[in-house]
Amino acid sequence: MKRSKTILKDERFALTIDRLCHQLIEKYDDFANTCLIGIQEGGVLMADRINRRLVDILGGESIEYGKLDITFYRDDFRTRTKPLKASSTELDFVIEGKKVILVDDVLYTGRSVHAAMTALQHYGRPNHVELLVMVDRRFKRDLPIQPDYVGLTIDAFDETYVKVEWAEIDKKDQIILKA
The residue extents of the domains of the chain are 11-160
pTM for this prediction: 0.92
pLDDT of residue 128: 96
Q: What is the dihedral of CA 148, 154, 160, 163, to 10 degrees?
A: -60
pLDDT of residue 76: 64
Partnered with residue 164 across adjacent β-strands are 175
pLDDT of residue 111: 92
Buried b (16+ CB within 10 A) or exposed e, 82-95: eeeeeeebebeeeb
Strands 128-136 and 99-107: parallel
**In terms of Cα–Cα distance, which of 162, 165, 158 is closest to 178?**
162
Residue 5 DSSP code: E
**In terms of Cα–Cα distance, which of 61, 36, 39 is closest to 50?**
36
pLDDT of residue 136: 95
pLDDT of residue 91: 92
Residue 112 DSSP code: H
Assigned fold of 11-160: Rossmann fold (3.40.50)
Tens-digit pLDDT profile for residues 108-135: 999 999 999 999 999 999 999 999 999 9
Sequence length of the chain is: 179
Q: What is the mean pLDDT of each run of 10 residues along the chain (179 residues)?
A: 84 97 96 95 94 95 94 68 78 94 95 94 94 92 94 84 92 91
